[in-house]
Amino acid sequence: MAQLGFVGLGVMGSRVAKRLLDAGHHVTVFNRTKGKAKWLLDLGAAWGESPRAVTEASDIVFTMVTNTEALASVAEGANGIFAGLTSGKIYVDMSTVSPEFSRKLAADALTRGASMLDAPVSGSVVTLEEGKLSIMVGGKEEIVQQVRSILLAIGQKVTHVGGNGLAVTMKIATNLSLAVQMLAFSEGVLLAEKSGIPRAIAVEVLLNSVIASPMVKYRGPFVLEMPQEAWFNVNMMQKDMNLALELGRLVDVPLPTTAVTNEMLTAARGMGLVEQDFAIVFRVLAQMSGVEK
């Protein structure tokens, strides 16, 4: 079993680390708030005092953090991952961040004789816990093969999409559809509801119709009752939408539905709903429709 490190124990990251523990690997973890690691330590994980300490204790180190700035904070500096990244080690970042910054880190890893992969995931807490995540990977094919069996302990599908930075690009291209679909679903529910169909019935019909993608099936019920803990909050979703819009401008691809949906997320922020799951766009649209005050 491999000596693994994991930095970033949020809603998804902590559960990924648990799957690695469940697979029998030795996992050293770090999080800015140590309390979030307690349940993993109780399950047998080791604690590293810094990202550097985690990296020094590991052959392969993973990160899963909120954004580009958070990744820079754990990767760089005297106590960062790169301070402990030596020849032969592999660094796998599972965050959704700027592709340009991801490629910069990959180049920095090479100067140390190490290798880096970007390996974001597609799925939710539910699909993660069921072992059904899809993982896209960017980097050298031979390095992907070295970690493939470990990645398969996290999710059931591992796809090498190309060079460094391309997996996170693919993740951005994927994630923009999550919020767009959620907004379209909300429009359908509210159109039915204001026409006299009870909301619960409208949801039931839509979840059993041709529009029910996997995301709609697990997030659609949120229009009836929001989760106590956001699976992916407004801040996180809008970060990904902004990355998509930036990339669209860079490669000259217009993203009209992404832009409109992003404005609904801005409205959610203005209404003080930033910590809610991004499915809260339903409430924003409902208030605009005069359904909820």
The length of the chain is: 293
- Crossing angle of helices 166-194 and 234-251, in 10° steps, is 120
Is residue 171 annotated as part of the catalytic site, yes or no? Answer: yes
Q: Amino acid identity of 266? A: T
Long-range CB contact pairs, 217-225, < 8 A, 24+:
218/124, 218/126, 218/127, 219/124, 219/182, 219/277, 219/279, 220/185, 222/277, 222/279, 222/282, 223/185, 223/186, 223/189, 223/199, 223/279, 223/282, 224/199, 224/200
Instruction: Quote the distance between the C-alpha of residue 101 and its chain's center.
Output: 17
Phi, psi for 157 (deg, rounded to 5): -130, 125
Q: What is the dihedral of CA 156, 160, 166, 168, to 10 degrees?
A: 20
Q: Which of 171, 194, 217, 293 is catalytic?
A: 171
Cα 225 to Cα 222: distance, rounded to the nearest angstrom: 5
Which regions of 16-170 does DSSP assign to beta strands (E)? 26-30, 46-47, 60-63, 90-93, 115-118, 121-122, 133-138, 155-162
Q: List, by residue number, the catalytic residues.
A: 171
